[in-house]
């Protein structure tokens, strides 16, 4: 998975727990520094997908033409701020245990004095989880953006995927009001794929379903590298930035047909006419009309 085509090498830091009373339904988090992951169990009824997301401070370095740069941000993995790809099927029960391992971070607030103002930046150490694009309940332990997972706490989410849910490529990210932009814009995001039910795709796509060896996952997130150089503590300032860098695609002719799944925060593509032909198959979970819909030399929006 790529973020703006930048190759990242990361190390997780800032693990620990804080005391204090937990809000209803939120349990104290055990010291748990293992990498985030997901696994599927088909033997249960309904079938379950169980995920563990560890949210922490991340320090990483990336190579570029002017030499390596080091950033600090928040994320879900020891080697990347991006979380694992969650893959579910219609009718699945998705369980996600979210651990908030943030401590008093060394990252600056960049609030501009707005901390405490409701509709501005605040509460950086609080997080939660939102599944962007899914048709699921927003109550209780499901897609409830009012859940507050404080530093050193955890919360167990349960999402029942409707049996008639359409297939599609979606994404997940923090959604605590006041910290959403800082957290998700800094790379704390992940891809969420709802597999297409058998018999719901055109025949030429049905034959490729489940063939992950010919599938690319690309998460596009703008990062303003020039801006970072002016910040002394190395904070990754990226929330809505674009740096117009090219994202290299491998030559897919040898592989034949290939599916590319895109996610991101309002990503845009400007494909060039080269060796590979690009066609849009679906957008926001809906099949294109006609299908395939060729993408030519124009700016293409891939809505988050």
Query: What is residue 236's predicted lDDT score, i.e. its pLDDT?
Result: 40
| pLDDT tens-place string over residues 215-265 | 777 777 665 555 555 544 444 433 333 333 434 444 444 444 445 555 555
Q: Which of 270, 264, 247, 277 is nearest to 303 (CA)?
A: 264
Mean pLDDT for 83-108 is: 88
Query: What is residue 11's predicted lDDT score, i.e. its pLDDT?
Result: 28
**Cβ-contact 143, 131 below 8 angstroms:** yes
Which range has the worst mean pLDDT, 5-9, 203-207, 241-245?
Answer: 5-9
The average confidence (pLDDT) of the chain is 70
To the nearest whole percent, how much of the chain has pLDDT over 70? 51
Q: In which element (H, E) is residue 225 found?
A: helix 225-228
- Residue 130's φ and ψ, nearest 5 degrees, are -130, 130
Mean pLDDT for 102-120 is: 63
Which range has the worst mean pLDDT, 42-51, 119-128, 197-206, 226-235?
Answer: 226-235
∠ CA 90-138-160 to the nearest 5 degrees?
25
Q: CA dihedral defined by 267, 52, 128, 116, rounded to 10 degrees? A: -100
For residue 15, name the pLDDT band (cuts at 50, 70, 90).
very low
Mean pLDDT for 277-291 is: 67
Query: What is residue 303's predicted lDDT score, i.e. its pLDDT?
Result: 47
Query: What is residue 73's predicted lDDT score, i.e. its pLDDT?
Result: 84
Mean pLDDT for 82-110 is: 85
Mean pLDDT for 202-221 is: 67
Higher pLDDT, 290 or 27: 290
Mean pLDDT for 7-11 is: 27
Higher pLDDT, 6 or 181: 181
- For residues 146 and 149, what is the distance between their CA atoms, to the nearest angstrom? 10
All domains of the chain in start order, with CATH: 8-200 (2.60.40.420), 206-301 (no CATH)
- For residues 299 and 82, what is the distance between their CA atoms, to the nearest angstrom? 26
Query: What is residue 245's predicted lDDT score, i.e. its pLDDT?
Result: 40
Environment class of 204 (CB within 10 Å of its CB; exposed 0-12, middle 13-18, buried 19+): exposed
Mean pLDDT for 73-91 is: 88
Query: What is residue 39's predicted lDDT score, i.e. its pLDDT?
Result: 93
Return the residue matching tokens 């796509």.
205
Query: What is residue 124's predicted lDDT score, i.e. its pLDDT?
Result: 81
| pLDDT tens-place string over residues 150-175 | 999 999 999 999 999 999 889 999 99
Q: Which of 78, 82, 76 is nearest to 12 (CA)?
A: 78
The tokens describing 249, both together, are 């695609």
Distance of CA 89 to the CA centre of its chain: 18
- For residues 304 and 263, what is the distance between their CA atoms, to the nearest angstrom? 6
pTM of the model: 0.70
Contacts of 100 (CB under 8 A, 6+ apart): 29, 55, 125, 126, 127, 149, 150, 151, 152, 153, 154
Which range has the worst mean pLDDT, 38-42, 82-86, 127-131, 291-295?
Answer: 291-295
- For residues 208 and 74, what is the distance between their CA atoms, to the nearest angstrom? 35
């Amino acid at each position: 998975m790529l973020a703006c085509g930048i190759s990242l090498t990361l190390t997780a830091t800032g693990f620990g727990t804080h005391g204090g009373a937990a809000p209803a339904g939120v349990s104290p988090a055990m010291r748990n520094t293992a990498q985030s992951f997901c696994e599927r169990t088909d033997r249960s009824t309904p079938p379950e997908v169980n995920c563990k997301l560890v949210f922490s401070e991340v320090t990483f370095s990336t190579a570029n033409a002017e030499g390596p740069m080091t950033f600090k941000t928040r994320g879900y993995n020891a080697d990347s701020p991006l979380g694992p790809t969650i893959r579910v099927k219609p009718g699945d029960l998705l369980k996600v245990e979210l651990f908030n391992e943030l401590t008093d971070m060394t990252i600056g607030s960049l609030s501009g004095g707005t901390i405490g103002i409701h509709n501005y930046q605040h509460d950086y150490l609080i997080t939660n989880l939102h599944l962007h694009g899914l048709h699921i309940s927003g109550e209780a332990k499901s897609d409830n953006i009012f859940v507050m997972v404080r530093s050193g706490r955890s919360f167990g989410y349960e999402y029942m995927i409707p049996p008639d849910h359409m297939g599609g490529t979606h994404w997940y990210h923090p959604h605590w009001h006041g910290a959403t932009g800082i957290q998700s814009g800094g790379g704390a995001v992940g891809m969420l794929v709802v597999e297409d039910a058998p018999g719901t795709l055109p025949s030429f796509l049905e034959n490729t379903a489940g063939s992950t060896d010919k599938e690319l996952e690309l998460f596009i997130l703008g990062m303003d590298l020039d801006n970072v150089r002016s910040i002394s503590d190395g904070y990754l300032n990226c929330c809505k930035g674009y740096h117009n860098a090219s994202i290299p695609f491998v030559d897919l002719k040898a592989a034949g047909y290939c599916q590319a799944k895109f996610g991101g925060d309002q990503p845009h593509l400007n494909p060039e006419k080269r060796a590979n032909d690009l066609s849009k198959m679906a957008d926001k979970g809906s099949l294109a009309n006609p299908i395939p819909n060729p993408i030519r030399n124009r700016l293409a929006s891939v809505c988050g």
